[in-house]
Amino acid sequence: MKPAGASGLTIFGASAGTGKTHRVTEEIKRALSSTGPDAVPVDGLLAVTYTRQAQVELESRIRRKLFEAGLAERAQQLPLAYVGTVHAVCLRWLQEHALDAGHSPTLRVLADERGALAQALEEAVPRRDRDELDDLAERLEPHLDHREGQTHWEWPVAQIITLARHGRIRADELDGMARRSLGGSARCCRCP
């Protein structure tokens, strides 16, 4: 396992059981015990794990190593560090910087994405347009819910949003992509 580093950044890539946690703990202890230009403040530490269990294990080992190295003050400051899962670290960062971005710091992870999307679409899409989309969905039946006997045009919208996020597609690119897709479909169907 060889770390890749750049300007204070160290990235470890290794499979399970290869000693990542041990190595990361040692690197963090070294960084937090350094003085001078290589010194890392506790609140400047970012360590991302895949699971909450790994987060707890990593925090515990870091704290223990810092105490063993006589760095009790640094160990007590560990809650200031960004250590956790990707979701936990990002949520904390968003909460801490929400006011700077003009948002409420009261953020939460959505449990029901579809419900939130439906509410957002209802607020953003004018009633006339929603009615047209409902009519079109009934004719095309893109997603027929047999339990409800209804079609849902919101589901393909949710899929497009997910694909755009994963593909890092900007909102201003979607219109052009839709036009190219519609043009390609029309050529395939030989539609005017």
Quick one: CATH architecture of 4-97? 3-Layer(aba) Sandwich (3.40)
Given a cut of 70, whether residue 143 has pLDDT beyond it is no
What token pair was written down for 11? 């990235």
Q: Tell me the CB-side half-sphere exposure of residue 150, using CA atoms within 13 A.
A: 7
Is pLDDT above 50 for 4? no
Query: What's the rounded mean pLDDT across residues 53-57?
Result: 89
Q: What is the pLDDT of residue 64?
A: 92
Q: What are the residue ranges spanned by the domains of the chain?
A: 4-97, 113-189
Q: What is the β-pairing status of strands 46-49 and 82-85?
A: parallel
Which residues have C-beta within 8 Å of that of residue 123, sequence separation ≥ 6?
Answer: none
How far apart, in whole angstroms, are the C-alpha atoms of residue 28 and residue 41? 11
Proportion of the chain above pLDDT 70, given as a percent: 77
Written as six digits, the tokens of 12 are: 């470890």
